[in-house]
């Protein structure tokens, strides 16, 4: 990782009642989501599950859930919105969640977490985790527009088997969760809001 912070994974999860067998190639071609040549050879279509692989996306569809994974972590807002809107026009969602994981490099993770997340009002935790190697995390959530914005921050150690190295990073898990999907729902706005809130928070460290 050359950058101070880096987006390492991004996905969208839709929950509801779906019929995987209806999500064939023709469905996505007819709705101008993908072209025939966009589908990679490892795409699979069956009665109970569908797995669509393209250059940008991996889309897994089951009877209860649709997961859209961004392969290269490039947030193509227009394309993602097109996929979600097409699905929404054919099915009702019970819930949708936009998720991102970021890593941030720091030379002294323990000191950084102690400075920002030390539980000053918890005498028990202060006594129990008082070693110099103690590290701390943080979870918080708030209402945002029509959804709930959540963040889970914690220190982790990445291990490179090839280079035999360890790298300490601060992991940020962001989620923008909506339980009520109405006619005014705009995936563009949700994606933009998640990006703005995530970057604003991570750059403050």
Q: What is the mean pLDDT of the chain?
A: 86
Compute how many other C-beta atoms are within 10 angstroms of the C-beta atom of residue 34: 21
pLDDT digits (tens, 9 = 90+) for 44-102: 999 999 999 999 999 999 999 999 999 988 788 899 999 998 988 888 788 899 999 99
Helices (H) and strands (E) in the chain, counts: 5, 9
Q: Using an 8 Å Cβ cutoff, are 14 and 96 in contact?
A: yes
* Per-residue confidence band for 1, with pLDDT thresholds at 50, 70 and 90: very low
Compute how many other C-beta atoms are within 10 angstroms of the C-beta atom of residue 120: 8
Task: Return the closest-CA partner of residue 96 out of 24, 173, 11.
Answer: 11
Burial of 84 from C-beta contacts in 10 A (0-12 / 13-18 / 19+): buried
Radius of gyration of the chain (CA): 20
Name which residue leads in pLDDT, 141 or 76.
141
Q: Using an 8 Å Cβ cutoff, are 29 and 38 in contact?
A: no
pTM: 0.86
DSSP-derived 3-state class of residue 3: coil
């Amino acid at each position: 990782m050359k950058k101070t912070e880096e987006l390492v994974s991004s996905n969208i999860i839709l929950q509801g009642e779906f019929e995987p067998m209806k999500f064939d190639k023709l469905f996505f071609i007819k709705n101008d989501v993908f072209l025939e040549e966009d589908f990679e050879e490892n795409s699979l279509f069956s009665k109970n599950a569908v797995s669509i692989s393209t250059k940008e996306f991996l889309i897994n569809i089951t009877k209860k859930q649709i997961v859209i994974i961004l392969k290269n972590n490039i947030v193509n807002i227009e394309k993602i919105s097109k996929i979600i809107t097409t699905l929404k026009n054919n099915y009702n969602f019970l819930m949708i969640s936009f998720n991102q994981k970021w890593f941030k490099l720091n030379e002294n993770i323990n000191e950084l977490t102690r400075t920002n997340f030390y539980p000053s009002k918890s005498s028990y935790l202060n006594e129990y985790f008082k070693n110099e190697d103690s590290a701390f995390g943080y979870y918080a959530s708030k209402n945002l527009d029509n959804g709930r914005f959540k963040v889970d921050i914690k220190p982790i150690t990445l291990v490179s088997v090839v280079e035999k190295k360890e790298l300490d990073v601060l992991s940020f898990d962001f989620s923008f969760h909506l339980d009520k999907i109405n006619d005014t729902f705009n995936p563009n706005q949700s994606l933009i809001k998640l990006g703005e809130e995530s970057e604003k928070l991570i750059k403050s460290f």
